[in-house]
Amino acid sequence: MAKTKLTINNNGSVKIEGDFEIVDKNGNNYGLQGREVLSICRCGLSQNKPFCDGAHKGHFEHDAIAFDLPPKKV
């Protein structure tokens, strides 16, 4: 299986690329119609949630800079 890549965009969505599926809380698949790239809403303003429709423009600020999480608790 190809590796899936998620990119956290500045002031916007999460871009997903690769081989993936998206399911709702009941395990039902969203019909992605063969898409291998799409964006998920992070701002909550999209009319097409969970997918991004660009509604965040000018209404959502976040500088996406990678960092290390603390060690996993065991």
Q: Which residues pair with 51 in a beta bridge?
A: 40
- pLDDT at residue 63 in the model: 95
CB 9 within 8 A of CB 17: no
- CB burial of 30-59 (b: ≥16 within 10 Å; e: otherwise) equals eeeeeeeebbebbbeebeeeebbeebbeee
- pLDDT at residue 72 in the model: 95
Query: Over the stretch 8-63, which tens digit does the pLDDT of each residue have?
Result: 999 999 999 999 999 999 999 999 999 999 999 999 999 999 999 999 999 999 99
Element (H, E) at 8: strand 5-8
pTM of the predicted model as reported, rounded to 2 decimal places: 0.86
